[in-house]
Structure 1
């Protein structure tokens, strides 16, 4: 585990609620641990990414994304009520890593999503000749959506990931998030899904049925059975789904 990840692990223990959902930004920014993290973050420019295997690189960038989100919000002169109140937060908040600039958007869409466009734009993040292309994930793993923390209440909880157990850890994160977010109205036969599955629909499937089927391995048997009954009744590619509201209020301790 690299030094920034170790410090993130300590931050989670000292400045976050046990469930990983809320951060005490005020206490964090005043503490010595945060000052230590800021000094270590400068060293990221010297990290040798070529020495990391893909599973290690995936864990590294997930951890860096989450640490950078906390770092960026803690550095705001006035803590915002919502991350949406910080102009161009995901575009303008970044680190120099291994000699290249990486914004939060670059990490999420360029690296972790395999250089796929942001849902609101057709543009690829890394163009031909970009030195960062060599670190892009070779295939899309949609489970990363349930590991990335954007600074909102509806984000997944913060965890610290390791290349040695990244697969099982992402499974656990996905099961936890989908298990709490997906509900079924048996009477109306409507499946309620988290907003992430709407924003990034094409990462999970081309139709509502495909998206819902993607979630099945991560659900408990009772919920899975209810959904399969609805799917089996449907004679088309579309089924009745709704999407939960997303709480954009800052993930800060109340």
Structure 2
């Protein structure tokens, strides 16, 4: 909100790309306040479109990105040492982890009013191409890594403990935990890939491909074989 207001006051910022969050429109202020805040930020950015008193409104774009697949790397230690993927998402509900090039394409685009006219003023929802429950995600990882990785449905308390050890901002930890709660509530059971195809002309990264890309960080350590003493 401070950045958007500063851009408006400067009178010199023409292009504004807001990376928002998929699912923020399903978030409840009492349960997922950090996620719901994105609605307020989106409204501020988009409400200035066409405002003759500031250049900010002439070329905004909003991307609602889903859970970043790279967030799974936060559990690389558990994956390598214990062969598990510990997520507090329940057993059955699904989400579509995302790796996207959309933001880069938008930022590099140029048009007569700022961003490329194909992107200017757009609200883009971008998810990965495949819905995955925890066990399906672990199966995909095992296939790509060539070793068994098991899903473990953990409690929120345990999830907080795991994230506490990570060197990331507290607000990002809150966001991740709130997104997990959306998954548990069944509010992420959808795929949105049209914007990715339209902007990049490519197919989003499949889970198998993601795990192959980060195989060194996630591959479980092989258990030592026990000899017979001979």
Q: TM-score range by the shorter chain?
A: under 0.3
Please tell me whether Structure 1 or Structure 2 has the larger radius of gyration of its CA atoms: 2
> Which has the higher relative contact order, 1 or 2, with Cα contacts under 8 A spaced 6 or more apart?
2
Give the strand-richer structure, 1 or 2.
2
